[in-house]
Amino acid sequence: MKKLFLYSFLFTSGFSLQAQPSFLISAPAASEYTKIDKSGRTVLPNGRFITPRGQQITTAPHPYGLAISPDGQTVVTANSGISPFSISIIRSILAANPQVRQVPEGAKNDKGILEACFMGLAITPDNKTVYVAGGETNKIFAFDLTTGKRTGTINCAVKNGGTDYSHGYIGDMVLSRDGRTLYAVDQIGFRMLVIDVAGRKILHNVPTGRYPFGITLSPDEQTAYVANVGVFEYKPFTDLDRKNLKETAHDYPASKYGSKEMKEGVPEKGIPALGDPNAPEAFSVWRITLGSRPQVRAKIKTGFLVGQLIEDFPAIGGSSPNSVVATDQYVFVSNGNNDCISVIDIKKDTVVRNIPLSSDPRLGKWRGVIPFGVALSPDGKRLYVAEAGINAVGVIDVPTMQVIGHIPTGWFPSKLKVSLDGKKLIVANAKGFGSGPNGGKNFQIGPEGSYIGGLMKGTVSVIDIPADAQLAAETRQVVDNNFRFSPVPTGRHTNPIPLYPRHKESPIKHIVFIAKENRTYDEIFGQVSGGQGDPALARYGRDASFTSRDKARSVSKVTVMPNHLALAQRFAMSDNFYCDADVSADGHRWMVNTYPNEWVETGTAAAYGGRRNMRDSSNAPGNLAFYGSAGSIYPEDYNEAGSMWEHLERHGKAFFNFGFGVEMAGAYSDSTMKYIGEKYTINYPLPAPLYDRSSRIFPTYNMAVPDQFRTDMFIKEFNERWTGPGKTLPSLITLMLPNDHGTRERPKAGFPFTESYMSDNDLALGRAIEFLSQTPYWKNMVIVVLEDDPQGGVDHIDAHRSPLLVISPYVKKNYVGHGHYSFGSVFKTFWHILGMPYQNQYDAGATDLADLFTDQPDFNPYHAVPVDARVFDPQKALDPFDEKFDWKAFAESEELDRTETMQKRRQEDDEQAKKKRKKKQ
């Protein structure tokens, strides 16, 4: 084992290796398709398995909050899903048949019952009432556990002297044992509330660090510990004129992460200072003494500092401390980015140990466990950790501070509790068993519809805690569910994709990574022979007929995306590729090899589609930290190893970016920004390597801009930078073509149907491939095309299944691969080609794309196929293609992925599907 660990250490550290490794790692699913098997083994979209232990109880989507009643008989979950907010009340939790009540009932939210909720729950000593944190409502709601009826509200909007708490985002909570005092954190108000329950009165607003996320009390209830998951207090540019944003907003993100400008600001340019990411307010746990005058007594940094040397590189992201629990000796803190538990000595107010949580030594220092909720056994001898990234509960022996095993759970365990007798674990699994299919002849539309956010039901597992002697077998199951370790094969020497980094030199020297928006496999490729598709769902395939939403226009027997079909026939594709993401907010993280931590996952579910959007009206110091669906990564969700941008820079690989990761929250855009896409109003720093390697003329997401124009800008700048003597194309080019997202019909602008956006995207992709295949770099190039997420469509295998095209002289012709692939597969292939180490457990544990490649290259160029002018007329969209071009039609364009819009569209499509089914019957 020592030898294996040494190899893994060297591999992750990026040492130049020529020797053959002792093993290879891949996804356990191999060629299995995603499927839900609640009585056996479920195959997840990322190619991993889940075999949850114990009894599984279904809740509404995304149960990120969990509370157990003092008598141990009732459990409540707070479900802050992309579908409406709810709580699930589970009575007789330890019985054979627990009773579940959802409040509000059904798939739709009822006004006046529960406007919002976010993680925080607390049950009164008499087991009759549950308090629910109201998130963005800045309220706390009380519900009767027997009837499910709301019995009261605590308004947390107050003005305290010179501090205005009119806006807040109430999250985690804890109730004193006597039930008289409620302690809650306000994420955007940077405060801990002390509330008199009987009088429903706020007694104190105690300052905390940035974005307080978790809270616990000491056993004697004399001290509160608050975990702060945030980095910065973001601020708008000081030179903005709100009445004239077009002229005063900034043309580009103002600072790069870690720079002097980020830390100190540039006052003369209107750029406010953000400070040091290692400030006491960031990534820390604060100790607050309670009583008549609560006071902050200590600010304790946990995990690893930003910039601290981890192996052979400085940490990019901070620790992300999120959940806390205390004994009379220690406070235990889960560090979501560092995959460890920090142990704080309560007498010294210092971290005395970091307990690593890796499930197998062969994984070395790759991160991806994502520790979230923590719970202690009644005797204080065991600490249990929800390991969201590996779908397990980690078991720590408190006296020795050692991990003694892992227990399989459902998908993405978030919070957990221990029964009063210490014999059972109660675990909330935020993603349950996954979504399953959301279309096809065997799919029956329920009240939640077919939208992916409504299908991602959560679960609660009630698990018998295994004896210590059983933990070794349980741990082996966790490892087998997540990773497949195998001997190094003797074959595959001629495949252009090396078996592992630095195995051999690949003939491929240049990678072009093209990302698109929101489509599933079936709706584009459902008719492709050789693939597991449903032709009935191929609405953007061949022989499509459709009508505009206003019924004024219609076409029949048209091929909507002919280049996609032609590229699939000429090159290689997969019918078993899945987006790890549900929606764009997490999709844009995955797309740059940043796995979303607990901050992103909870924030995405609760904030997506415009929720938490108070930027223009709120003075709360943290009101700018909820990013919604913006297509960037932010300091709060930087992984310890950073994104692919830092990874490439760290290993000396040149890259350049067209549109990835520069679409920031709170940006301003209008119909005239064809060369920019948007302007910036808030000082969010950009990842440092990306700042100087991104196009300044390529338009990021803005549905006013046809993808034809993006392709023109791409070709123009490509030729300027890399065509001609002495010029060399970088190792990696990233290109965003987002118009297959779709928006409202704009017939006057050349988009008479929603399908017109698909044709625009299709032609732009075909033109980009045609151009690239005629450059001198083509003979050493691979182009990978995928979607950031699948939420815009339906699929009969799984709602996460999505198109993957691989285009190169070195790929098989007219080939449909069946290997189970995810975002990690794409990055693993990149690293094999470029001779770079893996970055995290998601790329290390994926299956690469080698099956799609051949050692018999075909260097012939690709020629783009014209689209049907009835659907999309590129000349009309672009002509006269100068500053006089009429972009006015953009005024009705929609925001990126507003949940309300996506759900409305899905409901309309569901109704049409029901009508068609009735006619057939």
Longest dimension (CA), the chain: 80
DSSP, res 685: P
Identify whether the C-beta of residue 583 lies closer than 8 Å to the C-beta of residue 453.
yes
Closest CA to 388 of 332, 355, 428: 428
Of 82-96, 134-148, 319-333, which range is least confident? 82-96
pLDDT the model gives residue 611: 45
Give the C-alpha separation, 447 to 450, whole Å. 9
Could you tell me if residue 85 is left (phi over 0), alpha (psi between -120 and 50 degrees) or otherwise beta? beta
Report, as an integer, the average pLDDT of 230-239.
95
Give the C-alpha separation, 536 to 618, whole Å. 47
How many residues are listed for the chain in this entry?
A: 921
Beta bridge partners of 210: none
Could you tell me if residue 203 is left (phi over 0), alpha (psi between -120 and 50 degrees) or otherwise beta? alpha
**Residue that has been written with the tokens 């340019």 in this structure:** 269
Long-range contacts of 776-779 (CB under 8 A, 24+ apart): 777/509, 777/510, 777/722, 777/729, 778/809, 778/859, 778/861, 779/809, 779/857, 779/859
Phi and psi dihedrals of 216, rounded to 5? -150, 165
Identify whether the C-beta of residue 458 lies closer than 8 Å to the C-beta of residue 79.
yes
Give the C-alpha separation, 691 to 576, whole Å. 34
32 Cβ contact partners less than 8 Å away, ≥ 6 residues apart: 43, 820
pLDDT the model gives residue 914: 61
Closest CA to 299 of 228, 375, 201, 374: 228
Report, as an integer, the average pLDDT of 568-584.
95
pLDDT the model gives residue 844: 97
Report, as an integer, the average pLDDT of 112-117.
86
Confidence label for 113 from pLDDT (cuts 50, 70 and 90): confident
Using the predicted structure, report yes or no on whether residue 88 has a pLDDT greater than 90: yes
Q: H helices within 48-93, ranges in order?
A: none
Confidence label for 907 from pLDDT (cuts 50, 70 and 90): low
Give the C-alpha separation, 902 to 890, whole Å. 19
pLDDT the model gives residue 8: 35
Closest CA to 690 of 255, 105, 65, 85: 255
704 versus 52: which is more confidently predicted?
A: 52
CA torsion 179-185-190-195 (nearest 10°) is -20
Q: Tens digit of pLDDT for each residue in 800-815?
A: 999 999 999 999 999 9
Of 114-123, 720-729, 882-891, which range is least confident? 882-891
In the chain, the percentage of residues whose pLDDT exceeds 90 is: 78
Using the predicted structure, report yes or no on whether residue 387 has a pLDDT greater than 90: yes
Confidence label for 889 from pLDDT (cuts 50, 70 and 90): very low
Q: Tens digit of pLDDT for each residue in 604-652?
A: 777 654 444 444 567 899 888 776 667 789 999 999 999 999 999 999 9
pLDDT the model gives residue 9: 34
Of 292-306, 560-574, 670-684, which range is least confident? 670-684
Amino acid of residue 188: I
Give the C-alpha separation, 698 to 678, whole Å. 10
Closest CA to 693 of 592, 775, 785: 592
576 versus 492: which is more confidently predicted?
A: 576
Confidence label for 159 from pLDDT (cuts 50, 70 and 90): confident
Chain centre to alpha carbon of residue 230: 17
Amino acid of residue 714: F
Asked whether the CA dihedral 304, 308, 313, 317 is positive or negative, the reply is positive
The H-or-E segment that residue 765 falls in is helix 754-773
Report, as an integer, the average pLDDT of 348-366.
96
pTM to 2 decimal places: 0.94
Confidence label for 7 from pLDDT (cuts 50, 70 and 90): very low
772 Cβ contact partners less than 8 Å away, ≥ 6 residues apart: 512, 778, 781, 783
CATH number of 516-598+638-909: 3.40.720
Using the predicted structure, report yes or no on whether residue 893 has a pLDDT greater than 60: no
Determine the number of helices (DSSP H) and then strands (DSSP E) in the chain: 17, 45
Q: Peptide bond before 730: cis, by omega within 30 degrees of 0?
A: no
Using the predicted structure, report yes or no on whether residue 16 has a pLDDT greater than 80: no
Closest CA to 506 of 831, 902, 53: 831
Identify whether the C-beta of residue 156 lies closer than 8 Å to the C-beta of residue 168.
yes
pLDDT the model gives residue 897: 42
- Per-chain mean pLDDT for the chain: 90
Of 215-219, 241-245, 525-529, which range is least confident? 241-245
Give the C-alpha separation, 698 to 656, whole Å. 12
Give the C-alpha separation, 269 to 240, whole Å. 10
Confidence label for 919 from pLDDT (cuts 50, 70 and 90): low
Closest CA to 435 of 17, 806, 802, 851: 802
Environment class of residue 351 by beta-carbon count within 10 Å: exposed (0-12), middle (13-18) or buried (19+)?
A: middle
Using the predicted structure, report yes or no on whether residue 917 has a pLDDT greater than 60: no
Report, as an integer, the average pLDDT of 267-272.
96
Asked whether the CA dihedral 597, 599, 602, 606 is positive or negative, the reply is negative
- Tokens for 155, please give them: 């308004």
pLDDT the model gives residue 38: 97
Report, as an integer, the average pLDDT of 99-128.
88
Q: Tens digit of pLDDT for each residue in 196-220?
A: 999 999 999 999 999 999 999 999 9
pLDDT the model gives residue 109: 61
Confidence label for 746 from pLDDT (cuts 50, 70 and 90): confident
Secondary structure, 3-state, 534-573: CHHHCCCCCCEEEECCCCCCEEEEECCCHHHHHHHHHCEE
Using the predicted structure, report yes or no on whether residue 151 has a pLDDT greater than 90: yes
Using the predicted structure, report yes or no on whether residue 794 has a pLDDT greater than 90: yes
Environment class of residue 19 by beta-carbon count within 10 Å: exposed (0-12), middle (13-18) or buried (19+)?
A: exposed
pLDDT the model gives residue 899: 40
Report, as an integer, the average pLDDT of 871-894.
52
327 Cβ contact partners less than 8 Å away, ≥ 6 residues apart: 219, 376, 380, 398
pLDDT the model gives residue 645: 97
**Residue 369 to residues 30, 125, 692, 695, Cα–Cα distance (Å):** 21, 35, 32, 35
**DSSP E strand stretches across 554-658:** 554-558, 572-574, 655-658
**Residue that has been written with the tokens 């549950």 in this structure:** 130
200 versus 906: which is more confidently predicted?
A: 200
**Residue 799 to residues 793, 824, 832, Cα–Cα distance (Å):** 8, 18, 29
- Tokens for 133, please give them: 């944190």
Using the predicted structure, report yes or no on whether residue 895 has a pLDDT greater than 50: no
Identify whether the C-beta of residue 503 lies closer than 8 Å to the C-beta of residue 460.
no
Give the C-alpha separation, 617 to 613, whole Å. 9
49 Cβ contact partners less than 8 Å away, ≥ 6 residues apart: 28, 29, 41, 42, 43, 480, 481, 482
pLDDT the model gives residue 490: 80
Confidence label for 583 from pLDDT (cuts 50, 70 and 90): confident
Using the predicted structure, report yes or no on whether residue 845 has a pLDDT greater than 70: yes
Give the C-alpha separation, 525 to 570, whole Å. 14
